[in-house]
Amino acid sequence: MLELGARFENAWFGIHGQGVTQLHTILERTGGERMLFGTDWPFYHLAATLAKVLIVTQGRPQTRAAILRGNAERLLARR
């Protein structure tokens, strides 16, 4: 998904269920743009993904806010 997202700016990243290492890689490649926090419940617990997002965005409050809310708002506002 990362390679497609790098090529196509209309591709967004659903990050639920990704590991910390993969989340860090996606964050470094995208700067947090187009990363969407969501759920694959009941397969992956929501709290586990939230914890991973909090870990990889430590010290980056704007990026954290974008992943947890802002990116989804931007996507849903697009027409």
59's CB contacts (< 8 A; 6+ apart) are none
If DSSP codes are grouped into helix, strand and coil, which group holds residue 44?
coil
Give the total number of structural domains in the chain. Answer: 1
Q: Write out the residue range of the structural domain in which residue 25 sits.
A: 2-77
72's CB contacts (< 8 A; 6+ apart) are 36, 37
Q: Could you read off the pLDDT of 22-35 as tens digits, one per residue?
A: 999 999 999 999 99
Sequential DSSP letters for 1-38: -HHHHHH-TT--EE-TT--HHHHHHHHHHHTTTTEE--
The C-alpha atoms of residue 42 and residue 28 are separated, in whole angstroms, by 28
Q: Could you read off the pLDDT of 45-75 as tens digits, one per residue?
A: 889 999 999 999 999 999 999 999 999 999 9
Q: What is the pTM of this model?
A: 0.90
